[in-house]
Amino acid sequence: MNEATQHSWDETWLDDAAGRLVRPYTVSNGRTRPTAVLELLSMVRATGKAPAAHLDPDHAQALGLCDVPTSVAEVSAHLRLPVVVTKVLLSDLVDCGAVTTRPPIPAADPGDRSVLEAVLLGLRRLQAAADAEH
């Protein structure tokens, strides 16, 4: 979404004093459960497939944010909506084929002994290299 479109959207749906002019539950038509499994760090990306139905402004803005892989949390922050409402919007876009999702990549278990041993080995090699230079 370009800056001009974002500015126009902000003027239409946001008020400096009152905040968002449309309440979050109306954005999701009262729905609180997304149809797709989405985590806070799930990545969403537009497929390039045009939705069959006309998109309302919130769906269109969400889709515009997904031109590059974007986390659910980032989309939620840009839309200024609660995460659960954003998940409902994104799951609608998944259902119509406009976006795809990827679960977050799990971080390595910090208690994993092999990871700790690899870090220790790397530190010892750095120390040995530093000692060899002096």
Q: What is the pLDDT of residue 117?
A: 86
Q: Which amino acid is located at 77 in the chain?
A: A
pLDDT band, very low/low/confident/very high, at 10 (cuts 50, 70, 90): very low
The separation between CA 16 and the C-alpha centre of its own chain, rounded to angstroms, equals 25
Q: What is the pLDDT of residue 23?
A: 54
Q: What is the pLDDT of residue 8?
A: 47
Mean pLDDT of 41-59: 89
Structure tokens at 4: 């001009």
119's CB contacts (< 8 A; 6+ apart) are: none
pTM strictly above 0.85:
no
Mean pLDDT of 94-122: 84
Please provide the average confidence, as pLDDT, over all residues in the chain. 80
Residue keyed to tokens 């309440």: 23
